[in-house]
């Protein structure tokens, strides 16, 4: 009988704890509570599949990051890992789609934390992405692009002058 009385007392104290406004708010609106508790943003892991590339990129983002900054970070990770085909680091020619709803690209100014809990994305070049990339300055941004351009310029100038070292 005594154990039953203790269980009822524990249930009563648990009910009192759950009735507390802060605990109640946390249980019924966990996203709102965590945002207010942690200053309005939190970090989470995203997975971004790049069209025509093997395997997704995975990295941590802040919920207050914009879609444009996430695209920029994904392109930097892609380049850092040495993946092919080379894409450059300019985010303007690319769009980010939710992996669950590929009917419409996410707005570049949207905060990634406002993407309805989505953590899996697809990165794709815009249909007019080549035109957008061409509007940017003409010099390549990646070290690989600069190296390839330098080698091509060197061998291109040597072959035109007739100083070929080939037999």
Strand order in the sheet with 120-125: 57-62, 43-50, 120-125, 94-98
Looking at the structure, do residues 45 and 27 belong to the same domain, yes or no? no
| pLDDT tens, residue by residue, 137-159 | 444 456 666 667 777 776 765 54
Least confident of 37-41, 60-64, 118-122, 159-163: 159-163
> What average pLDDT does range 4-12 have in this prediction?
55
Q: Does any domain span residue 167?
A: no
pLDDT-derived band at 77, boundaries 50, 70, 90: very high
Looking at the structure, do residues 11 and 46 belong to the same domain, yes or no? no
Q: Which two tokens stand for residue 56?
A: 């997704």
Looking at the structure, do residues 127 and 70 belong to the same domain, yes or no? yes
Q: Does any domain span residue 16?
A: yes
Looking at the structure, do residues 98 and 112 belong to the same domain, yes or no? yes
């Amino acid at each position: 009988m005594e154990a039953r009385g203790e269980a009822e007392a524990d249930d009563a104290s648990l009910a009192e704890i759950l009735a507390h406004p802060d605990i109640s708010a946390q249980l019924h609106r966990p996203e709102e509570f965590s945002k207010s508790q942690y200053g309005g943003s939190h970090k989470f892991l995203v997975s971004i599949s790049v069209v025509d590339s093997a395997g997704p990129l995975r990295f941590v983002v802040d919920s207050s990051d914009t879609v444009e900054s996430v695209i920029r970070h994904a392109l930097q990770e892609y380049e850092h890992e040495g993946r092919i085909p080379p894409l450059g680091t300019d985010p303007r020619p690319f769009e980010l789609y939710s992996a669950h709803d590929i009917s419409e690209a996410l707005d570049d100014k949207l905060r990634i934390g406002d993407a309805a809990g989505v953590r899996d994305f697809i990165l794709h070049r815009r249909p007019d992405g080549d035109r957008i990339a061409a509007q940017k300055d003409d010099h390549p941004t990646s070290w690989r692009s600069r190296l390839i351009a330098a080698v091509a310029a060197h061998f291109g100038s040597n072959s035109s002058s007739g100083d070929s070292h080939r037999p």
